[in-house]
Amino acid sequence: MSTFRAVVIDKNESGQNVGIRTFDETDLMDGDVTVRVSHSTLNYKDGLAITGKAPVVRRFPMIPGVDLAGVVEASSNPEFKSGDAVVLNGWGLGETHLGAYAEKVRVKGDWLIPLPQGLSAEQAMAVGTAGYTAMLCLMALERHGLRPDQGPAIVTGAVGGVGSVAVALLANAGWHVIASTGRPKEADYLKGLGAAEILDRSELAGSGRPLAKERWAAGIDTVGSTTLANLLSMTKYGGAIAACGLAGGMDLTATVAPFILRNVALLGVDSVMAPKALRMEAWNRIARELDHDKLAAMTTVIPLDQVLEAGREIVEGRIKGRVVVQIA
């Protein structure tokens, strides 16, 4: 097809506008692989792009969507051929390169990985960048030498996409999981994913003490700001927090006390530019270790027509778990 449906963000003197439009294949960006997209997903970053709440989009017009699963339609890259099922996360998709909320994309083959064995395209997008990032965080904690017998692990923003998958992955790995959330009515949902305790996020709000009572050995933080500062102050000696999000803000008003008095580590986790070998390891582990029933329990599927409203809802904190966007 020479034209196809896509979500397009444009900008003029009056500001940003977004809608579903017909897009011409000749206007796709350079790349050596063309993919027919079947599914995408909704991440917090996608919501920021759709609403314009943060400068995620770096060029206009832009098709948002940082994740895709689909089938190769044409390729001049030796690693991929027509008919191959593939997945893509990050690499500037939906930010600087036309993204996944479209029936077709053209990208660099180096950005693609084969669809992991044991996952369907829909399941891969139920995982998406959020779940793949959660696995990168778990791997970072493991590389630091942390084990479940050293104490609990805390997850902040636990009802969100990264948080939901992180709870399930940590529980599967044998951790006693403390799920922090501002939505106490979702306690049963979080316990169904494997959380052993629910912690109200108010306990991590506001400026805390440089050092507080030691409560957990490890953590995955999606919030940042004062929440992360409080997490660090309550981390056990030799523990670590893997930080991957900024839903609460980009600031970090903390002291060096946890680092120099308790040997605590702050592990930064990036998923956008992670090298291919690390991506492959993370995705292969997800295919083996993430319970498919738990994945289904945290997933909602919507058509492309509903992604604009869903993008607004995720920024407002009204989305639970993972949202798959069915493109085709």
Q: State the CATH number of the domain containing residue 100.
A: 3.90.180.10
CA atoms within 13 A on the CB side of 273: 3
Q: Are 88 and 115 in contact (CB under 8 A)?
A: no
Closest CA to 113 of 298, 326, 308, 280: 280
Q: Do 180 and 220 belong to one domain?
A: yes
Q: pLDDT (tens digit, 9 = 90+) per residue, 166-190?
A: 999 999 999 999 999 999 999 999 9
The answer to whether residues 66 and 11 belong to one domain is yes
pLDDT tens digit string along 305-328? 999 999 999 999 999 999 999 998
How many whole angstroms separate alpha carbon 277 and alpha carbon 299? 27
Q: Kindly report, residue by residue over 224-271, the tens digit of the pLDDT.
A: 999 999 999 999 999 999 999 998 999 999 999 999 999 999 999 999
Looking at the structure, do residues 63 and 171 belong to the same domain, yes or no? no
238 plus 185 within the same structural domain = yes
pLDDT of residue 206: 87
pTM of this prediction exceeds 0.85: yes
Same-domain check for residues 176 and 88 = no
Integer Cα distance of 237 and 111 in angstroms: 39
| Residues 138 and 43 grouped into a single domain | no
Number of domains in the chain: 2
- Is residue 138 pLDDT above 70, yes or no? yes
pLDDT in tens, 15-54: 889 999 999 999 999 999 999 999 999 999 999 999 999 8
Task: Say yes or no: 98 and 140 in one domain.
Answer: no
Residue-number span of the structural domain to which 253 is assigned: 129-268
